Amino acid sequence: MMSQHLFAAIVTHHGTAANNRGESDGNITTLQKLLWQGQVHTTVSAEAVRFALRRRLADVEETNRRWDEDKRTNTWQDHQFKGWEKADGKSFIDDDLLGYMTAEAAKEEGKAGSANVRRAVLEVTRAISLLPWAGDVTFNAASPGATPSAAKKGNNPVPYGTELHATRYQYGIALTSERLRKKDRAKAAITALCELAEVAGNHGRFLFDFSPESVIFRLTDDPAPRLLYIFEQDGQTIDAPALRDRVEAEDINASELVIGGGFATTETAKQLDEMGATVFPGVRKAAQKVIENLRG
């Protein structure tokens, strides 16, 4: 039997992203950016998405790595991943889905070091804004004594600026559940992805809803995703005409697609529905359908 692969293209709700790394240029807190299709877009790292996902997984099953909000550090159950040394050893859901790596330097000069590595089964792309960044910056002032650093300025307010971006973000995932030690964890991962909220830090100052506003799932024996970064924005409408083109070209079988969210109301989604895709008005219903169709 051929492997069953799950791919998904996800677009978030519209929101204002800011401060997502806490880095600064002078007194301006910056956003991560990249040149995408010839224009500057803001971006959120895959690691930030993975970090938020791990926190959601911890509500379902015990994780190896857990963030301690009070100590502001990660705590570990098995930092050497010894549970993976035996086929029936104890494994944690985050290690199973997201992989791990621990490296040890050589003990003697001229000798090679060692590494214990498990590749992520759930792979996540970098999230990229649907709209180019127009250079928006807000200028603010911390009130006198509002923070310990502000207190050093005496009775004067402390000016600062923050880059921000009103946009949606899109990213993709790939998952082959048969590579998991416990295949049911794929279902937990799909549910968690549909419940993401706080991604990329934001210093607790900004809330950005990173849960899917629209999602396209593809459950297939084809090892290539063929739908990453498929979304585009025209005014307020989220569309994916390239997906229809790939179905018409027979690179993607429409019956492999499960679509949910705002994109489902577009003419493109209606055409895909007629071609054989499964279309739901909501993201949760689409995720549940995919979970039902997973093997194992």
Identity at 208, one-letter amino acid code: F
Per-residue pLDDT at 202: 46
Q: 198 burial class (0-12, 13-18, 19+ CB within 10 angstroms)? A: middle
Write down the pTM of the prediction. 0.90
User: What's the chain's average pLDDT?
Assistant: 89
Q: What is the pLDDT of residues 219-259, one digit of tens each?
A: 999 999 999 999 999 888 999 999 999 999 999 999 999 99
* Number of Cβ within a 10 Å radius of residue 255: 13
Per-residue pLDDT at 236: 87
Give the list of residues 6+ apart from residue 167 with CB closer than 8 angstroms, or none. Answer: 14, 15, 17, 42, 129, 130, 131, 133
pLDDT above 50 for 108: yes
More confident residue, 3 or 1: 3
Domain count, the chain: 1
Q: Is 83 left (phi over 0), alpha (psi -120 to 50) or beta?
A: alpha
Tell me the torsion sign for CA atoms 12, 15, 17, 20.
negative
Identity at 14, one-letter amino acid code: H
Measuring CA to CA, which residue among 86, 90, 93, 275 is closest to residue 184? 93
**Pairing outcome for strands 137-142 and 212-220:** unpaired
* Number of Cβ within a 10 Å radius of residue 162: 20
Distance CA(46)–CA(8), nearest Å, equals 14
230: containing domain: 5-293
Average pLDDT in the 271-291 region?
Answer: 98
Per-residue pLDDT at 264: 97
Per-residue pLDDT at 62: 95
**Pairing outcome for strands 169-175 and 127-129:** antiparallel
